[in-house]
Structures are given as structure tokens and as C-alpha cells.
Amino acid sequence: MPTYDGIGSSVTHEIEVVGDVFISNVEGGSLSTQVPFEIFSNVFGLSPAPTDSRQLRLRVQPTSDSNVSNSYVTDMGIQNTTDNYFFITAPQNTSNVGDQNTFVISTTGNVGIGTADPKTKLHVSHDLHLQASSEAWNSTAGPGLYLRYSTNGGQDEGYIQSIDRTTPTKKPMVLEASNFYFNGGDVGIGVASPNYTLDVNGGVRTRLPWLYARNTSQGGYSTSYNVTFNLVEARDTTVGDMYNTSYACTFPVKGVYVVDIFTHSALGGQHTAWYQGYIRYSNGTAYHLVSGNKQQSPTAANWDTYTENTWVLYVPTSNMYLDLTFYTSLSTIKNYAGSWNRIRAACIYAVQ
């Protein structure tokens, strides 16, 4: 009997067959537990208990080596201690028993490659390489996430698709990370061959919310929305000072802001109206003066003026604010119940 176990010991085999083995007529029907061939390793009560045992070995002898101790083996088995996972080892020379982490199926159906403890349906412990494929794209698979490097039809690029291939209908995809870093190259949105760091085919809209918004009526003293400032007062006694705030809006971060101001003034005659304000540091020190163009009411008979200015402002540090005053050229302010004013500000570019 041969003794080429290949692990350094001499083992005689209880049965050895040279040639084919054929087992037939063992099928017991659907869901039958009857199987044609079973290997049963009962290690209960053994002391010391064996670990990492193999139940099945496939062996091949290299054509260039006559020494059977240098044959290559792949082992299979069920881990017999606590996890009881099924494993297949990578082919190894018989002087090395192999690594159980090569391919694993856990008792929960998770598949591990390079790990004996897969946490998901497919858990890979190392790089994942998808080889280029020139085959036609599958058109029968349902919705899912598809990864591919395609050379089909002149393509030569990688794809990540969230799509239903049967429709086909593209699906939303969410990418989550603390930071996103593109290592070189240009980014195209709607552009297959971008020529700039960011090349967009179409308009660009910031979806940052209006950080501060304010609607007021004369005498209303409302502080709705997210505006942080003192009470807005529509005054009818102060010459040229109808709309005065200490904090028209605050700028929480360093960056570029768009500020839009709109005021409806109803006065006792034809008049002009305008804005003037200061961007101030949190301690009140003025940083920059901003002024709006004077706007005149249409006619002497039409006393209403709608004054609007939009400014793009650079704010050099965080926690600054806008000190804004609305001026009019007449001293008498008539009642304009239901009229309103608006201040809005949005950060369109935050600077680190």
C-alpha cells in the first residue's frame, strides 16, 4: 500500500482504488437525505480534540516531479470546533496543509474569500479584480448594482451602475464617506470626455438651503424662519430710517454668500429708497461697507416703491453678520398694512 500522505507520516489506506469508481442508484427522491457518498468525522470525546481537520483531499502530481511528497493538494471539510463553516483550501504543496481562509461558506450562508468569518453574503479580504469583458451587456437581469470593466462595442472603461437591466431604468445610488477624493483626472457631468477639472453640460444649482430668510409686515415684529437678528421695526417717526436691524443676517462659516433684500415702502409722496450696510466681525468691528442703488417711486401719485438688491459677498471668517439699514428720502411714512419686507442669504461656497 502506498504511504505518500505528504505530511511527513506513514499512513496505510484502508481502501485504495486505481481507476474509476462509479456509484449509482442512490437517489432517494426530492429532499431526500440519502447521498451517494458520505464522509463522517466523529470527533466527539476525543482528547485532545482535533482542529482544522480535512474530510476530503484532491491531489495531483506535477508532470515534472516524480517525488509524490511534492504533489499538490486541495482540501475540503467542515470546521469542527465552534463555527462549523465549510471550507476549501487553495492548492498547496503537500508540505503545506493550506489555509482554511481561502474559501469559506458559513452556517448562515455567507461566503468568505480570504476570511473564515464572513460578515456579509460575500466578504472578500483583499483586492477585488474584475477582468475586462467584451461580452454583450446582460439585458434580462433585474434591478441591482452592477460593476464591470467593459470592452464591448468599442468600450474601454469601468462601470458602476445602479439600474434595472430589464427595463432598462436607472436607479438612484447613494455614496457615503467622510470625504471623497479623486486621484487625478477630470470629472464630467453629462460630458463623456471632460476637458476641465469639473465639466458640466447644463446648469449648476446649489441645493444648500437658504440659511436665513425673513418676511415681515409693518408692526408685525415676526421672527419666523432661521434669521438671527434683533427685532425688525417699520418706523413712522424716524426721518429716513424705516427699516433698521442690528443683525440683518449672520454668516456662520467663511465663504461666499448671496444676499437678497426686498422692501416695499409706501410714503407720502414720490421718493427714493436704498440700502446700506456693513459686514461686521462678531465683536462689531466693520469689515466691509455694502451699498445698494437708489430706486425711485414711479410717479408722485404712486407712492409705493419696491426696492430690491442682490449682493454677492465674501465673508473672510466665521460668525460674522450683516448690519443693514434701509433709507428713504422722505420723512413721512404712510400706513401700508399688508406690505412686506424680505431678507434672504445663502452660502454658495464655503471656504475651509
Residue found by looking up cell 434683533 in the block: 230
Q: What is the CATH number of the domain that holds 255?
A: 2.60.120
Q: Is residue 67 part of a domain?
A: yes
Contact 169, 163 (CB under 8 A): yes
What CA–CA distance (Å, rounded) separates 208 from 350? Answer: 11
What CA–CA distance (Å, rounded) separates 173 from 145? Answer: 9
Domain boundary among the residues 101, 127, 153 is at 127
Say yes or no: 169 and 86 in one domain: no
Amino acid (1-letter code) at residue 344: R
Distances in whole angstroms, Cα of residue 288 to Cα of each of 94, 126, 203, 279: 80, 55, 31, 5
Q: Is residue 244 part of a domain?
A: yes
What CA–CA distance (Å, rounded) separates 217 from 72? Answer: 87
pLDDT at 82: 72
Q: Is 69 helix (H, G, I), strand (E, B) or coil?
A: helix
Residue 153: domain span: 143-187
pLDDT at 247: 63
Contact 219, 229 (CB under 8 A): no
Q: Is residue 203 part of a domain?
A: no
Q: Is residue 197 part of a domain?
A: no
Say yes or no: 175 and 221 in one domain: no
What CA–CA distance (Å, rounded) separates 261 from 306? Answer: 10
pLDDT at 228: 29
pLDDT at 194: 92
Say yes or no: 123 and 147 in one domain: no
pLDDT at 263: 72
Say yes or no: 65 and 154 in one domain: no
pLDDT at 119: 93
Structural domain count, the chain? 3
Q: Is residue 164 part of a domain?
A: yes
Say yes or no: 177 and 221 in one domain: no
What CA–CA distance (Å, rounded) separates 167 from 349? Answer: 39
Say yes or no: 93 and 176 in one domain: no
Say yes or no: 27 and 112 in one domain: yes
3-state helix vs strand vs coil in the chain, percent to 5: 0, 35, 60
- Greatest C-alpha distance within the chain: 121
Q: Is residue 314 part of a domain?
A: yes
Question: What are the mean pLDDT values of the chain's consecutive 10-residue runs (352 residues total)?
Answer: 43 74 78 80 80 80 84 86 84 73 89 91 91 91 92 93 92 92 89 89 59 38 28 33 53 82 69 80 92 71 73 89 74 44 70 66
Contact 254, 351 (CB under 8 A): yes
Say yes or no: 222 and 302 in one domain: yes
Distances in whole angstroms, Cα of residue 44 to Cα of each of 39, 49, 79, 80, 283: 15, 8, 13, 10, 78
pLDDT at 159: 93
